[in-house]
Amino acid sequence: MKFLDLAKVYIRSGSGGNGCISFRREKYIEYGGPDGGDGGTGGSVWAEVVDGLNTLIDFRYQQHFFAKNGQPGMGRQRTGKDGDDIILRVPVGTEILDEDQETVIADLTEVGERVLLAKGGNGGFGNLHFKTSTNQAPRRANPGQEGVERTIWLRLKLIADVGLLGLPNAGKSTFLAATSNARPKIADYPFTTLHPNLGVVGVDGVEFVVADIPGLIEGASEGRGLGDLFLGHVERCSVLLHLVDGTSETIAEDYQTILTEVEAYGGVLADKPRVTVLNKVDALEPEARAEALATLEEVSGGPVMQMSGVAREGVTEVLRALRAEIDEDKLRHADTGEEDEPWQP
Protein backbone atom coordinates (compact mmCIF):
# COMPACT_ATOMS: atom_id res chain seq x y z
CA MET A 1 0.00 0.00 0.00
CA LYS A 2 1.35 3.39 -0.99
CA PHE A 3 2.02 5.82 1.86
CA LEU A 4 0.19 9.14 1.56
CA ASP A 5 0.36 11.80 4.27
CA LEU A 6 -1.11 14.86 2.53
CA ALA A 7 -4.40 15.13 0.66
CA LYS A 8 -6.54 17.95 -0.70
CA VAL A 9 -10.26 17.42 -0.26
CA TYR A 10 -13.31 19.32 -1.53
CA ILE A 11 -16.38 19.13 0.70
CA ARG A 12 -19.89 20.53 0.56
CA SER A 13 -22.71 20.19 3.04
CA GLY A 14 -26.28 19.70 1.86
CA SER A 15 -28.70 22.57 1.37
CA GLY A 16 -31.91 22.65 3.37
CA GLY A 17 -35.19 21.83 1.64
CA ASN A 18 -37.64 24.59 0.78
CA GLY A 19 -40.74 25.10 2.83
CA CYS A 20 -44.07 24.20 1.23
CA ILE A 21 -47.07 26.43 0.50
CA SER A 22 -50.15 24.24 0.75
CA PHE A 23 -53.75 24.42 1.94
CA ARG A 24 -55.95 21.66 3.21
CA ARG A 25 -58.55 20.80 0.57
CA GLU A 26 -61.13 18.20 1.60
CA LYS A 27 -64.79 17.70 0.95
CA TYR A 28 -67.09 19.31 3.50
CA ILE A 29 -64.19 21.27 5.01
CA GLU A 30 -64.71 24.83 3.84
CA TYR A 31 -61.75 26.48 5.58
CA GLY A 32 -58.99 23.90 5.65
CA GLY A 33 -56.25 26.37 6.40
CA PRO A 34 -52.51 26.11 5.65
CA ASP A 35 -50.78 22.73 5.99
CA GLY A 36 -47.44 23.22 4.23
CA GLY A 37 -44.59 21.40 5.99
CA ASP A 38 -41.02 22.54 6.63
CA GLY A 39 -38.08 21.50 4.49
CA GLY A 40 -35.59 18.90 5.69
CA THR A 41 -32.14 19.77 7.00
CA GLY A 42 -29.20 19.24 4.66
CA GLY A 43 -26.55 16.66 5.47
CA SER A 44 -23.37 17.74 7.26
CA VAL A 45 -19.75 16.74 6.59
CA TRP A 46 -17.81 15.22 9.50
CA ALA A 47 -14.33 13.90 10.03
CA GLU A 48 -13.94 10.92 12.34
CA VAL A 49 -10.86 9.04 13.56
CA VAL A 50 -11.11 5.29 13.06
CA ASP A 51 -8.82 2.47 14.05
CA GLY A 52 -6.87 0.43 11.51
CA LEU A 53 -5.81 3.26 9.16
CA ASN A 54 -2.24 4.55 8.89
CA THR A 55 -2.32 6.46 5.62
CA LEU A 56 -4.53 8.88 3.67
CA ILE A 57 -4.39 6.75 0.53
CA ASP A 58 -8.22 6.60 0.31
CA PHE A 59 -8.31 10.32 -0.45
CA ARG A 60 -6.08 9.91 -3.50
CA TYR A 61 -8.91 8.28 -5.43
CA GLN A 62 -11.79 10.35 -4.08
CA GLN A 63 -11.36 14.04 -3.33
CA HIS A 64 -14.97 15.28 -3.54
CA PHE A 65 -17.42 14.67 -0.71
CA PHE A 66 -20.89 16.18 -1.12
CA ALA A 67 -23.62 15.60 1.46
CA LYS A 68 -27.24 15.12 0.41
CA ASN A 69 -29.68 18.03 0.30
CA GLY A 70 -32.76 18.07 2.50
CA GLN A 71 -36.04 17.33 0.76
CA PRO A 72 -38.65 20.10 0.43
CA GLY A 73 -41.66 20.15 2.71
CA MET A 74 -45.01 18.77 1.53
CA GLY A 75 -48.67 19.25 2.15
CA ARG A 76 -50.56 17.63 5.01
CA GLN A 77 -47.98 19.11 7.39
CA ARG A 78 -45.28 16.73 6.17
CA THR A 79 -41.68 17.73 6.83
CA GLY A 80 -39.09 16.89 4.18
CA LYS A 81 -36.55 14.17 4.82
CA ASP A 82 -33.17 15.27 6.19
CA GLY A 83 -30.13 14.78 3.98
CA ASP A 84 -27.62 12.07 4.90
CA ASP A 85 -24.36 13.11 6.51
CA ILE A 86 -20.95 12.39 4.98
CA ILE A 87 -18.19 11.07 7.25
CA LEU A 88 -14.51 11.32 6.29
CA ARG A 89 -12.75 8.43 8.02
CA VAL A 90 -9.16 9.38 8.85
CA PRO A 91 -6.30 7.75 10.78
CA VAL A 92 -5.07 8.77 14.21
CA GLY A 93 -2.81 11.82 14.04
CA THR A 94 -4.61 13.58 11.18
CA GLU A 95 -4.40 17.35 11.13
CA ILE A 96 -7.14 19.20 9.24
CA LEU A 97 -6.05 22.48 7.68
CA ASP A 98 -7.91 25.23 5.87
CA GLU A 99 -7.25 25.97 2.21
CA ASP A 100 -4.27 28.18 3.07
CA GLN A 101 -2.52 25.12 4.62
CA GLU A 102 -1.74 27.20 7.71
CA THR A 103 -4.98 27.57 9.68
CA VAL A 104 -5.54 24.44 11.77
CA ILE A 105 -9.21 23.46 11.92
CA ALA A 106 -8.72 20.36 14.07
CA ASP A 107 -5.98 18.05 15.32
CA LEU A 108 -7.31 14.52 15.76
CA THR A 109 -5.16 12.35 18.02
CA GLU A 110 -7.54 9.76 19.50
CA VAL A 111 -9.73 7.05 18.03
CA GLY A 112 -13.39 8.09 18.02
CA GLU A 113 -12.78 11.84 17.83
CA ARG A 114 -15.20 13.67 15.53
CA VAL A 115 -15.21 17.20 14.19
CA LEU A 116 -17.83 19.05 12.15
CA LEU A 117 -16.31 20.41 8.96
CA ALA A 118 -19.40 21.76 7.17
CA LYS A 119 -22.84 22.07 8.74
CA GLY A 120 -25.87 21.27 6.63
CA GLY A 121 -28.34 24.05 5.81
CA ASN A 122 -31.57 24.39 7.79
CA GLY A 123 -34.84 23.60 6.05
CA GLY A 124 -37.18 26.45 5.22
CA PHE A 125 -40.44 26.99 7.09
CA GLY A 126 -43.68 26.01 5.34
CA ASN A 127 -46.70 28.29 5.32
CA LEU A 128 -48.14 26.43 8.31
CA HIS A 129 -45.41 28.03 10.39
CA PHE A 130 -46.65 31.53 9.55
CA LYS A 131 -50.26 31.02 10.56
CA THR A 132 -51.47 33.59 13.10
CA SER A 133 -54.78 34.77 14.46
CA THR A 134 -54.69 37.70 12.07
CA ASN A 135 -53.21 35.85 9.09
CA GLN A 136 -54.94 32.52 8.88
CA ALA A 137 -54.13 31.87 5.23
CA PRO A 138 -50.43 32.80 4.77
CA ARG A 139 -49.09 32.39 1.27
CA ARG A 140 -45.40 32.51 2.07
CA ALA A 141 -42.70 29.94 2.84
CA ASN A 142 -38.99 30.18 3.41
CA PRO A 143 -36.39 28.70 1.07
CA GLY A 144 -33.89 26.26 2.51
CA GLN A 145 -30.51 27.49 3.73
CA GLU A 146 -27.61 26.96 1.34
CA GLY A 147 -24.96 24.41 2.20
CA VAL A 148 -21.31 25.22 2.96
CA GLU A 149 -18.66 24.54 0.33
CA ARG A 150 -14.98 24.61 1.24
CA THR A 151 -11.59 23.14 0.42
CA ILE A 152 -9.52 21.54 3.17
CA TRP A 153 -6.19 19.75 3.50
CA LEU A 154 -5.65 16.56 5.45
CA ARG A 155 -2.14 16.08 6.80
CA LEU A 156 -1.12 12.95 8.64
CA LYS A 157 1.42 13.22 11.45
CA LEU A 158 2.31 9.83 12.81
CA ILE A 159 1.79 9.20 16.51
CA ALA A 160 5.17 8.13 17.90
CA ASP A 161 7.15 8.57 21.09
CA VAL A 162 10.62 8.68 19.53
CA GLY A 163 11.67 10.23 16.21
CA LEU A 164 14.83 9.21 14.35
CA LEU A 165 16.94 11.94 12.78
CA GLY A 166 20.07 11.65 10.69
CA LEU A 167 21.60 11.91 7.25
CA PRO A 168 20.80 9.24 4.66
CA ASN A 169 22.56 5.97 5.56
CA ALA A 170 23.14 7.01 9.16
CA GLY A 171 21.69 3.67 10.26
CA LYS A 172 18.17 4.72 11.26
CA SER A 173 16.37 1.88 9.50
CA THR A 174 18.91 -0.65 10.76
CA PHE A 175 18.26 0.54 14.32
CA LEU A 176 14.49 0.21 13.82
CA ALA A 177 14.86 -3.28 12.36
CA ALA A 178 17.18 -4.36 15.18
CA THR A 179 14.88 -3.21 17.97
CA SER A 180 11.38 -3.90 16.64
CA ASN A 181 9.36 -6.16 14.36
CA ALA A 182 9.34 -3.49 11.65
CA ARG A 183 11.11 -4.50 8.47
CA PRO A 184 12.11 -1.31 6.64
CA LYS A 185 14.14 -1.55 3.44
CA ILE A 186 17.87 -1.40 4.18
CA ALA A 187 20.53 -0.83 1.51
CA ASP A 188 23.94 0.81 1.09
CA TYR A 189 22.76 3.77 -0.97
CA PRO A 190 21.26 7.11 0.14
CA PHE A 191 17.50 7.61 0.41
CA THR A 192 16.72 3.92 0.79
CA THR A 193 13.91 5.02 3.09
CA LEU A 194 11.36 6.92 1.03
CA HIS A 195 8.40 6.80 3.43
CA PRO A 196 8.14 6.96 7.23
CA ASN A 197 8.15 3.68 9.13
CA LEU A 198 6.83 2.90 12.60
CA GLY A 199 8.10 0.25 14.97
CA VAL A 200 7.21 -0.76 18.52
CA VAL A 201 10.32 -1.32 20.65
CA GLY A 202 10.54 -2.68 24.17
CA VAL A 203 12.97 -2.29 27.04
CA ASP A 204 12.66 -3.20 30.72
CA GLY A 205 9.09 -4.41 30.33
CA VAL A 206 7.68 -1.32 28.62
CA GLU A 207 7.01 -0.47 24.99
CA PHE A 208 7.05 2.73 22.98
CA VAL A 209 6.74 3.67 19.32
CA VAL A 210 9.68 4.80 17.17
CA ALA A 211 9.26 6.67 13.87
CA ASP A 212 11.91 6.40 11.15
CA ILE A 213 11.71 9.14 8.51
CA PRO A 214 13.69 9.62 5.28
CA GLY A 215 17.12 11.13 5.85
CA LEU A 216 17.75 14.85 5.70
CA ILE A 217 20.48 16.50 3.65
CA GLU A 218 21.86 20.00 3.58
CA GLY A 219 19.27 22.32 2.06
CA ALA A 220 16.31 20.03 2.84
CA SER A 221 14.41 23.03 4.23
CA GLU A 222 14.71 24.59 0.76
CA GLY A 223 13.39 21.48 -0.98
CA ARG A 224 16.61 19.62 -1.75
CA GLY A 225 16.47 15.85 -1.75
CA LEU A 226 13.14 14.70 -0.32
CA GLY A 227 12.81 18.02 1.49
CA ASP A 228 11.68 18.32 5.10
CA LEU A 229 8.02 17.35 4.63
CA PHE A 230 8.48 14.22 6.70
CA LEU A 231 9.72 16.17 9.73
CA GLY A 232 6.06 16.68 10.56
CA HIS A 233 5.91 13.02 11.55
CA VAL A 234 8.28 13.58 14.47
CA GLU A 235 6.61 16.78 15.72
CA ARG A 236 4.52 14.80 18.20
CA CYS A 237 7.45 12.78 19.57
CA SER A 238 8.60 13.14 23.16
CA VAL A 239 12.29 12.75 22.29
CA LEU A 240 14.48 12.74 19.17
CA LEU A 241 17.20 10.19 18.52
CA HIS A 242 19.95 11.79 16.46
CA LEU A 243 22.13 9.16 14.79
CA VAL A 244 25.52 10.18 13.38
CA ASP A 245 27.50 7.83 11.11
CA GLY A 246 30.77 7.05 12.92
CA THR A 247 32.44 5.98 9.69
CA SER A 248 31.97 9.41 8.11
CA GLU A 249 34.99 11.62 7.62
CA THR A 250 32.93 14.75 8.37
CA ILE A 251 31.24 13.89 11.66
CA ALA A 252 31.04 17.48 12.91
CA GLU A 253 29.55 18.72 9.64
CA ASP A 254 27.07 15.85 9.55
CA TYR A 255 25.80 16.70 13.03
CA GLN A 256 25.53 20.41 12.29
CA THR A 257 23.67 19.78 9.02
CA ILE A 258 20.81 18.00 10.79
CA LEU A 259 20.72 20.61 13.55
CA THR A 260 20.51 23.43 10.99
CA GLU A 261 17.67 21.78 9.07
CA VAL A 262 15.67 21.11 12.25
CA GLU A 263 16.03 24.74 13.33
CA ALA A 264 15.05 25.95 9.84
CA TYR A 265 11.90 23.81 10.02
CA GLY A 266 10.78 25.84 13.02
CA GLY A 267 8.06 25.04 15.50
CA VAL A 268 8.76 23.11 18.69
CA LEU A 269 10.97 20.54 17.00
CA ALA A 270 14.25 22.29 17.81
CA ASP A 271 13.32 22.49 21.50
CA LYS A 272 12.59 18.79 21.98
CA PRO A 273 15.04 16.71 24.05
CA ARG A 274 17.59 14.87 21.92
CA VAL A 275 19.73 11.80 22.47
CA THR A 276 22.86 11.97 20.33
CA VAL A 277 24.39 8.64 19.31
CA LEU A 278 27.57 7.78 17.41
CA ASN A 279 26.44 4.90 15.23
CA LYS A 280 28.27 2.10 13.36
CA VAL A 281 31.04 1.99 15.98
CA ASP A 282 31.64 -1.71 15.23
CA ALA A 283 33.35 -0.65 11.99
CA LEU A 284 35.91 1.53 13.82
CA GLU A 285 39.22 0.69 15.44
CA PRO A 286 39.53 1.70 19.13
CA GLU A 287 41.63 4.78 18.33
CA ALA A 288 39.33 5.92 15.53
CA ARG A 289 36.29 5.36 17.73
CA ALA A 290 37.73 7.48 20.54
CA GLU A 291 38.61 10.25 18.08
CA ALA A 292 35.14 10.22 16.49
CA LEU A 293 33.48 10.26 19.92
CA ALA A 294 35.57 13.22 21.05
CA THR A 295 34.74 15.13 17.86
CA LEU A 296 31.00 14.56 18.25
CA GLU A 297 31.03 15.46 21.94
CA GLU A 298 32.81 18.71 21.15
CA VAL A 299 30.40 19.81 18.42
CA SER A 300 27.25 18.71 20.30
CA GLY A 301 28.31 20.17 23.61
CA GLY A 302 26.78 17.29 25.55
CA PRO A 303 27.03 13.57 26.26
CA VAL A 304 27.20 11.20 23.30
CA MET A 305 26.32 7.50 23.35
CA GLN A 306 27.87 4.80 21.19
CA MET A 307 25.93 2.15 19.32
CA SER A 308 25.97 -0.37 16.51
CA GLY A 309 22.62 -1.51 15.18
CA VAL A 310 24.18 -4.36 13.22
CA ALA A 311 26.30 -5.73 16.07
CA ARG A 312 23.60 -4.85 18.67
CA GLU A 313 26.24 -3.04 20.68
CA GLY A 314 24.95 -0.34 23.03
CA VAL A 315 21.38 -0.69 21.78
CA THR A 316 19.88 -1.45 25.19
CA GLU A 317 21.57 1.56 26.76
CA VAL A 318 20.20 3.82 24.02
CA LEU A 319 16.68 2.45 24.49
CA ARG A 320 16.88 3.09 28.23
CA ALA A 321 18.05 6.65 27.61
CA LEU A 322 15.07 7.18 25.31
CA ARG A 323 12.66 5.68 27.82
CA ALA A 324 13.87 8.11 30.48
CA GLU A 325 12.72 11.03 28.31
CA ILE A 326 9.20 9.69 27.73
CA ASP A 327 6.40 10.44 30.17
CA GLU A 328 5.28 7.42 32.16
CA ASP A 329 1.67 7.80 31.07
CA LYS A 330 2.71 7.37 27.42
CA LEU A 331 4.59 4.12 28.03
CA ARG A 332 2.79 0.83 27.46
CA HIS A 333 3.63 -2.13 29.64
CA ALA A 334 4.42 -5.20 27.62
CA ASP A 335 2.00 -8.05 28.31
CA THR A 336 4.36 -11.01 28.36
CA GLY A 337 2.61 -13.08 31.03
CA GLU A 338 5.92 -13.34 32.85
CA GLU A 339 7.93 -11.13 35.15
CA ASP A 340 9.39 -8.15 33.33
CA GLU A 341 12.98 -8.62 32.22
CA PRO A 342 15.40 -6.20 30.54
CA TRP A 343 15.30 -6.25 26.75
CA GLN A 344 18.13 -8.32 25.32
CA PRO A 345 19.57 -7.75 21.87
Q: What percentage of residues in the chain have a pLDDT greater than 90?
A: 50
- Is the distance from CB of 198 to CB of 209 less than 8 angstroms? yes
- The parent domain of residue 269 ranges over 162-333
Q: Is 195 annotated as a binding residue?
A: yes
Residues 151 and 175 grouped into a single domain: no
Q: Is 213 annotated as a binding residue?
A: yes
Rounded to an integer, the average pLDDT of 39-68 is 93
Residues 236 and 98 grouped into a single domain: no
Q: Which residue among 131, 156, 181 closes a domain? A: 156
pTM score: 0.77
Q: Is 215 annotated as a binding residue?
A: yes
Q: Is 279 annotated as a binding residue?
A: yes
Residues 132 and 10 grouped into a single domain: yes
The answer to which of 146-150, 240-244, 295-299, 341-345 has the lowest mean pLDDT is 341-345
Measured CA to CA, the distance from residue 71 to residue 83 in angstroms comes to 7
The answer to which of 40-49, 108-117, 210-219 has the lowest mean pLDDT is 210-219
Find, among 9, 11, 79, 81, the residue nearest to 42 by Cα.
Answer: 81
| pLDDT at residue 38, rounded to an integer | 96
Give residue-wise pLDDT tens across range 151-174.
Answer: 999 999 888 899 999 988 888 888
Q: Is the pLDDT of residue 340 over 70?
A: no
Residues 196 and 322 grouped into a single domain: yes
| pLDDT at residue 86, rounded to an integer | 96
Report phi then psi at 278, rounded to 5: -85, 115
Is residue 205 one of the residues assigned to a domain?
A: yes
Residues 116 and 131 grouped into a single domain: yes
Q: Is the pLDDT of residue 97 over 60?
A: yes
CA atoms within 13 A on the CB side of 243: 32
Q: Is 42 annotated as a binding residue?
A: no
Q: Is the pLDDT of residue 29 over 90?
A: no
Residues 174 and 297 grouped into a single domain: yes
Rounded to an integer, the average pLDDT of 4-18 is 94
CATH number of domain containing 295: 3.40.50.300
Residues 313 and 259 grouped into a single domain: yes
Residues 233 and 325 grouped into a single domain: yes
Measured CA distances, 170 to 104, 167, 342 (Å) = 34, 5, 26
Residues 117 and 78 grouped into a single domain: yes
Q: Is 308 annotated as a binding residue?
A: yes
Residues 97 and 141 grouped into a single domain: yes
> Hey, which residues does 88 pair with through a beta bridge?
47
Q: Is 214 annotated as a binding residue?
A: yes
Question: In which band, very low, low, confident or very high, does the pLDDT at 203 lie, cut at 50, 70 and 90?
Answer: confident
Q: Which residue among 156, 173, 205 closes a domain? A: 156
Measured CA to CA, the distance from residue 12 to residue 27 in angstroms comes to 45
The 8-class DSSP code of residue 136 comes to: S
**239-245 vs 149-156, strand pairing mode:** unpaired
Average pLDDT, the chain: 88
Q: Is 82 annotated as a binding residue?
A: no
Residues 166 and 139 grouped into a single domain: no
Residues 127 and 263 grouped into a single domain: no
Measured CA to CA, the distance from residue 241 to residue 277 in angstroms comes to 7
Q: Is 167 annotated as a binding residue?
A: yes
Q: Is the pLDDT of residue 25 over 90?
A: no
Q: Is 168 annotated as a binding residue?
A: yes
